[in-house]
């Protein structure tokens, strides 16, 4: 071992792992086009016009990342996330006056579509005898509202939607978003609800073609995805307000793990949720308190993201005020 290796800190090792992850990742399709959209979006939305949320931009990540097993990908590892949390939260952030960059898994739940049936095109529309297409009476209010609110947000320039599929695309786009949001300083927020893979197959050690089953049992090693949250927080957007999520299936370790994440990654808030109850209850963990947020179970249509986003907007406001004083 030489002297340089001996003096390497865990931080140096992390930077090397992250550099190697990005260097070996397949090039992002249309990176310059995405950066252009981001810069225009931030330019348009960074002026504060007085209201509480205005001039603030939140990056909401949503849905699960895939881990390809082959370069010409036939098979991949995936996870359960539906993207419901991210889509619903986006709607409430928009209502609170924020502009939203919605970084979502292709095909996952979309803002303003939650009240529509699973296959809106086939279930909401009907073809008349004269071959005109019209909205089915029973869905007309929901369709009008969804289209109206969605168009209002996208055409009004308040919602920018960027899709990803793989863990590579997710982290590459997240880096571009963070860079574009730097000048917003404390008015930038990251709300990291996506379920990002912990393990992956590095691109350089990935086979080109479909893995053959005739070769017997599959024996492959996955390596850990470098802890990008740490560089996102400390280097890419050091002034932003950070909210990450901690998901567990064992409720006995959930709060302890959320506390650990809060300290390790210097998050401002960690939202702790358990898989089976995630739509009913979450715990908002900060360095000074743990607040349970519950869905209003007396109302059939109520969702937990409504009170959750109200609370998080308050926390962000205090953060902005404290850093101004």
Residue ranges in contact with ligand 9Z3 by CB under 6 A:
81-85, 192-193, 195-196, 244-247, 273, 278
Nearer Cβ to ligand 9Z3, position 211 or 253?
A: 253
241 forms bridges with which residues in the sheet?
189
Nearer to ligand 9Z3, 115 or 134 (CB): 115
Nearest approach, Cβ of 248 to ligand 9Z3 (angstroms)? 7
Tell me the C-alpha distance between 17 and 298, whole Å: 49
Nearer to ligand 9Z3, 60 or 94 (CB): 60
For 219-250, the three-class secondary structure string (H helix, E strand, C coil) is CCCCEECCCHHHHHHHHHCCCCEEEEEEEECC
Nearer to ligand 9Z3, 69 or 247 (CB): 247
Could you count the other beta carbons within 10 Å of the beta carbon of residue 193?
Answer: 26
Q: How far is the CB of 192 from ligand 9Z3 (least distance, A)?
A: 6
Residue 2 or 250: which CB sits closer to ligand 9Z3? 250
Q: Provide the minimum distance between the beta carbon of 249 and ligand 9Z3 in the complex, in angstroms, as a whole number.
A: 10
CA-nearest of 115, 165, 169, 168 to 142 is 115
- What's the DSSP call for residue 216? -
H helix or E strand, kind and range, residue 44: helix 31-45
Q: Between residues 42 and 262, which has the closer beta carbon with respect to ligand 9Z3? A: 262
CA dist 309 and 96 (Å) reads 9
Relative orientation angle of helices 84-95 and 305-324, to the nearest 10 degrees = 60
Nearest approach, Cβ of 86 to ligand 9Z3 (angstroms)? 6
* Residue number, 74 or 223, with CB nearest to ligand 9Z3: 223
Nearer to ligand 9Z3 by Cβ, of 128 and 276: the residue is: 276
Q: How far is the CB of 224 from ligand 9Z3 (least distance, A)?
A: 12
- Output b/e per residue, 104-141; b: 16+ Cβ within 10 A: bbeebbbbbebebeeeeeeebeeeeeeeeeeeeeebee
Q: How far is the CB of 41 from ligand 9Z3 (least distance, A)?
A: 24
With residue 264 as reference, give the H or E element that holds it.
helix 251-264
The secondary structure of 267-319 as a DSSP string is: -SEEEEEEGGGTTTEEEEE-SS-EEEEE--TTSTT--THHHHHHHHHHHHHHH
> Min. distance of Cβ 274 from ligand 9Z3 in angstroms?
9
Q: Are 300 and 272 in contact (CB under 8 A)?
A: no
Shortest Å distance, C-beta 311 to ligand 9Z3? 15
Name the β-bridge partners of 284. Answer: 271, 291
């Amino acid at each position: 071992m030489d002297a340089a290796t001996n003096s390497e800190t865990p931080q140096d090792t992390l930077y090397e792992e992250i550099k190697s992850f990005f260097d070996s990742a397949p090039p992002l399709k249309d990176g310059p086009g995405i950066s252009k959209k981001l810069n225009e979006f931030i330019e348009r939305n960074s002026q504060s016009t007085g209201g509480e949320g205005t001039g603030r931009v939140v990056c909401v990540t949503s849905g699960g990342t895939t881990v390809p097993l082959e370069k010409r990908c036939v098979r991949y590892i995936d996870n359960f996330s539906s993207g419901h949390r991210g889509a619903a939260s986006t709607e409430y952030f928009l209502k609170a006056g924020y502009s939203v960059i919605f970084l979502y898994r292709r095909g996952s739940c979309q803002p303003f579509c939650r009240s529509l049936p699973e296959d809106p095109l086939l279930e909401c529309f009907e073809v008349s005898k004269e071959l005109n297409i019209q909205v089915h009476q029973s869905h007309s209010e929901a369709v009008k509202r969804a289209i109206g609110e969605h168009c209002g947000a996208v055409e009004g320039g308040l919602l920018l939607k960027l899709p990803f599929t793989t863990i590579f695309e997710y982290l590459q786009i997240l880096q571009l978003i963070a860079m574009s949001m730097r000048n917003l300083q404390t008015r930038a927020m990251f709300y990291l609800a996506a379920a990002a893979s912990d393990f992956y197959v590095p691109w350089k050690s990935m086979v080109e073609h479909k893995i053959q089953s005739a070769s017997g049992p599959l024996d492959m090693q996955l390596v850990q995805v470098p802890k990008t949250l740490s560089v996102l927080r400390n280097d890419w957007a050091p002034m932003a307000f950070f909210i990450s999520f901690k998901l567990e299936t064992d409720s006995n370790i959930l709060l302890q793990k959320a506390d650990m994440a809060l300290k390790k990654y210097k998050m401002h808030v960690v939202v702790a949720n358990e898989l089976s109850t995630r739509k009913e209850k979450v715990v908002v963990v900060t360095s000074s308190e743990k607040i349970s947020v519950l869905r209003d179970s007396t109302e059939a249509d109520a969702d937990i993201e409504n009170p959750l986003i109200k609370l998080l907007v308050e926390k962000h406001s205090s953060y902005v005020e404290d850093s101004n004083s």
